[in-house]
């Protein structure tokens, strides 16, 4: 657990949230690179990166679900 202080408030992040945040940071920077390091779109990059990470998470969950479903069929 990590406690982050920001302007007098506390925000507690667990390891999963930290990992997700790092993935978003990396994706946002990749988008910034793809635009040729053009300034002024940091929020757009961040929101798009969040969207991409969410889509990756959803796809991973779907894949795990399908694998579990196949395993369960073998035991029935």
- Tens-place pLDDT, residues 5-48: 555 555 666 677 788 899 999 999 999 999 999 999 999 999 99
What's the DSSP call for residue 6? E
DSSP secondary structure code for residue 1 in this structure? -
60-75: b (≥16 Cβ within 10 Å) or e: eeeeeeeeeeeeeeee
pTM for the whole thing? 0.65
Say how far apart CA 71 and CA 41 lie, in whole Å.
45
| pLDDT tier, 72 (very low <50, low <70, confident <90, very high otherwise) | confident
Residue 15, token pair as written in the block: 């390891």
């Amino acid at each position: 657990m990590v406690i982050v202080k920001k302007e007098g408030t506390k925000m507690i992040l667990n390891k999963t949230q930290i990992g997700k945040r790092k993935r978003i940071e990396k994706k946002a920077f990749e988008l910034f690179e793809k635009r040729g390091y053009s300034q002024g779109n940091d929020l757009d990059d961040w929101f798009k990166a969040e969207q991409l990470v969410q889509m990756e998470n959803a796809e991973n969950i779907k894949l795990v679900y399908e694998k579990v479903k196949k395993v369960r069929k073998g035991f029935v």
